[in-house]
Amino acid sequence: MRKRSLLILFIFSLTIFLCLADYSYSQKKLKVFISVDMEGIAGIVHGDHTSSSGKDYGIARRWMTEEANAAIRGALEAGATEIVVNDSHGSMRNVIASELNPAAFLITGSPKLLSMMQGLDQSYDAVIFIGYHARAGTKDGVLDHTISGGTIYSIKVNGSEMSEAELNALIAGWHDVPVVLIAGDAAICEQTKKSLGGELEVAVVKRAVGRYAAKTLTPQKAQELIQKKTKIALEKRNKIKPFKQKAPYRFDVNFLRSSMADMAELVPQVERTGGRSVRFVIDDYIKGFKLLRALIYLAR
């Protein structure tokens, strides 16, 4: 009888130990996704910075890489166990792989099905946006545009005008993952504070003095701010709700020219709503985002 009691006690103790070990492991896990654009990086104000043919592109991509590194350092300080950086600008071959912190994985190149959010799924705990910019038509937004400056005038989802940050945040929300930090110019930080919620952390690295000029932090100061804000944002991640809208999703796309809407209207699911505008309605946001990307490529 005593042996049986000891055996039961041993099994019970072992079960408790394994449960505590599993809980401890789950508590330590922190998987972070970082999407890095370019127009919102400190010091960047012109196409010469953001285009691979521009004379200032070399130094600008280094600033971009270093802001990503700053976010990585902040994530590691917060206890991140896995970090993925997605190069999210233009050709998506801007981040200098040899200079990126080796603690992170890099997703580079294009096209990618989910573009700036490629690789994100429900296994992540938080999303961070670095180098983001205001939506097209924003007063005092540095290099403001939405996805394609030569194609898109505006994009609305369920009646709300979207920036790239908000479109991408909806992808994160679809996977129940919160966007916890946005770093960029003052305009995008103000826009996303209103739409994504007041708990969102922001790192303002510059303020526009017109579309092609800004009062900016030096790269070093911007990187220090991003590192600090990343740690704060990740430590409070459970207080930040994923950004969501209810299905069905109504996409209203307003192009720059009527010929672009002509091309988009060729897709059977798409309805013409004006000289330069089209609409489609869909229940699955990810499929809707992919269709949006296809329409933009077609319009070009």
What CATH number did the domain enclosing 67 receive?
Answer: 3.40.50.10780
pLDDT in tens, 88-143: 999 999 999 999 999 999 999 999 999 999 999 999 999 999 999 999 999 999 99
Once rounded to an integer, what is the mean pLDDT over residues 200-204? Answer: 98
What CATH number is associated with residue 277?
Answer: 3.30.1360.130
Count Cα atoms within 13 angstroms, Cβ side, for 227: 12
What is residue 12's predicted lDDT score, i.e. its pLDDT? 53
Position 20 pLDDT exceeds 80: no
What is residue 259's predicted lDDT score, i.e. its pLDDT? 98
In-domain check, residue 279: yes
Of 193, 216, 239, the position where a domain reaches its end is 239
Position 7 pLDDT exceeds 80: no
Q: Domain span at residue 282?
A: 249-299
Position 23 pLDDT exceeds 50: no
Closest residue by Cα to residue 92 from 119, 65, 111, 105: 111
In-domain check, residue 5: no
The answer on 290 and 160 residing in a single domain is no
The answer on 110 and 36 residing in a single domain is yes
d(CA 192, CA 173): 14
pLDDT in tens, 128-163: 999 999 999 999 999 999 999 999 999 999 999 999
In-domain check, residue 6: no
What is residue 158's predicted lDDT score, i.e. its pLDDT? 98
pLDDT in tens, 251-270: 999 999 999 999 999 999 99
Q: How many domains does the chain have?
A: 2
The answer on 212 and 254 residing in a single domain is no
The answer on 291 and 172 residing in a single domain is no
The answer on 217 and 271 residing in a single domain is no
The answer on 163 and 60 residing in a single domain is yes
In-domain check, residue 20: no
Closest residue by Cα to residue 279 from 159, 110, 176: 159
Q: Which positions are catalytic?
A: 145
Rounded to the nearest integer, the mean pLDDT of the chain is 93
The answer on 109 and 137 residing in a single domain is yes
What is residue 28's predicted lDDT score, i.e. its pLDDT? 72
The answer on 194 and 69 residing in a single domain is yes
pLDDT in tens, 209-265: 999 999 999 999 999 999 999 999 999 999 999 999 999 999 999 999 999 999 999
In-domain check, residue 167: yes
What is residue 22's predicted lDDT score, i.e. its pLDDT? 45
What is residue 114's predicted lDDT score, i.e. its pLDDT? 97
| Single pTM value for the model | 0.90
The answer on 168 and 35 residing in a single domain is yes
The answer on 262 and 202 residing in a single domain is no
The answer on 279 and 144 residing in a single domain is no
The answer on 56 and 145 residing in a single domain is yes
Position 26 pLDDT exceeds 70: no
Distances (CA, A) of 161 to 9, 29, 40, 146, 253: 61, 35, 19, 10, 10
